Homo-oligomer: A and B are copies of this chain.
Amino acid sequence: MKVFEKYFDDFIGYLIILNVIHQILISGYSLSDNLLTLSENFILFSFGIFVFEVIFRIFKERKFSTLLLIDIIVIFNYLFISVFDLRIFRIFRAYSIFSQLRVLLPTNTLLKTIWKQRLSILGTQIVVFSLLLIFSVVIHFLEKDLQPEAFGNILDSMWYGIATLTTVGYGDVTPVSDLGKLISSFAMFLGIAMFALPAAILASAYYEDIQKRNFLVSLEAITEINLFSNLPIGAITKINSKLEPLVLPAKQVIFKKGDIADALYIIEFGSVQVEIETPVVLGSGDYFGETGLISQAERNATISVLEEAKLLKLSKESLDELLEEYPALFEDLKRSAADRTG
């Protein structure tokens, strides 16, 4: 059932994209009779499926969401109004279906950053909007007698004002008075600063988010290591604080077969290659060399860097220090280590 739902979702996603392409291509063209029939049948078929899917979702999820509302409006419009073709708005549904694809993952992070910074960005827009109002009123005073059709009221002046402050500059309207040009020149300089504000906020916030995510990556990676999976969060944080970052260039050998195993490595980014008969590639979030933490055996394979990688190294020494300092926290670990080596 789960598998069927997944395939059905993907099918809906592709059908929405096809509908968007269809909507774009037919708009404004008069089709031949054959094509028109085909086109109408496609719409009919699509909406049949869409109606079914929306009903299915209502029954299954039993909770309301903006996304669902949009989809219901699109279908309602098709069935009862149909003046405008609203299929384009189902694109949000397609986005939510495909949001787990690899290419959209960074987009999700980015949208989250924007969401977290929404107040800051809204704040800059309030400042900008106030400047726009003042600029539009002033330019309206200066140009209303010279160009009544373009600057005769403040709302019309705002059209020029926005195009200027955002540096779009259509040029369909431009001031003719000298003072109007002077004031507009100031507005253009302000336009540059406007670009700087959201860039500054987002660059700062995004950098912090990346730093934090890297931190969470290592925390999650530790939790996934068998040895550590049952430890309390306190212990995992202690381990995290003992990780030693290593940034290694490609082709660097990390350890050779036969070396004494005395550390575990977690890959933060990049990839490494285990050089056994059929080489295995490990990537971000993977770990290797965990046997080195329990017993100082020999490495049974050479491992080298494939793409420039950042590794987090946990040496046996560091772990032993933790075991001694916080015996209560690591009790489980000690027992399991004893089991293995014993």
Q: Are A192 and B195 in contact (CB under 8 A)?
A: yes
Q: Does A171 contact B (CB under 8 A)?
A: yes
Q: Are A103 and B123 in contact (CB under 8 A)?
A: yes
Q: Are B141 and A126 in contact (CB under 8 A)?
A: no
CB distance from A246 to the nearest CB of B (A): 6
Size of the A side of the interface (Cβ < 8 Å), in residues, is 101
Bitwise, A90-104 to B at CB < 8 A (1) or not (0) is 010001000000111
Bitwise, A28-44 to B at CB < 8 A (1) or not (0) is 11000000000000000
* Stretch from A5-13, A47-55, A73-81, A158-166 at the B interface: A158-166
Which of B171, B197, B216 makes the CB contact (< 8 A) with A169?
Answer: B171
Q: Are A197 and B202 in contact (CB under 8 A)?
A: yes
CB distance from A264 to the nearest CB of B (A): 14
Q: Are A20 and B133 in contact (CB under 8 A)?
A: yes
Q: Are A107 and B133 in contact (CB under 8 A)?
A: no
* Stretch from A61-69, A203-211, A278-286, A333-341 at the B interface: A203-211
CB distance from A304 to the nearest CB of B (A): 10
Q: Are B188 and A199 in contact (CB under 8 A)?
A: no
Which of B20, B106, B193 makes the CB contact (< 8 A) with A120?
Answer: B106
CB distance from A138 to the nearest CB of B (A): 8
CB distance from A44 to the nearest CB of B (A): 21
Collect the chain B residues with CB atoms within 8 Å of residue A84's CB. 141
Collect the chain B residues with CB atoms within 8 Å of residue A164's CB. 168
Q: Are A24 and B123 in contact (CB under 8 A)?
A: no
Q: Does A125 contact B (CB under 8 A)?
A: yes
Which of B137, B152, B166 makes the CB contact (< 8 A) with A188?
Answer: B166
Q: Are A237 and B246 in contact (CB under 8 A)?
A: yes
- Alpha-carbon gap, A20 to B254, bound state (A): 47
Given A107-B123, A168-B188, 15 other A-B contacts at CB below 8 A? A24-B154, A28-B148, A84-B141, A88-B137, A110-B124, A159-B185, A162-B185, A167-B169, A192-B194, A193-B198, A199-B203, A203-B203, A204-B206, A212-B247, A219-B249
Q: Which residues of A are in contact with B by a Cβ distance under 8 Å?
A: 20, 23-25, 27-29, 84-85, 88-89, 91, 95, 102-107, 109-111, 114, 119-128, 130, 133-134, 137, 140-141, 144, 148, 152-156, 158-159, 162-164, 166-172, 174, 178, 181, 185, 188-189, 191-208, 210, 212, 215-216, 219-220, 233, 237, 241, 244, 246-249, 252-254, 308, 310
27 cross-chain CB contacts under 8 A? A27-B137, A88-B133, A88-B137, A106-B123, A107-B123, A107-B126, A110-B127, A110-B197, A155-B178, A159-B185, A162-B185, A162-B189, A167-B169, A168-B191, A169-B169, A171-B172, A195-B196, A197-B202, A200-B206, A201-B206, A203-B203, A207-B207, A212-B247, A215-B247, A219-B247, A233-B248, A233-B254
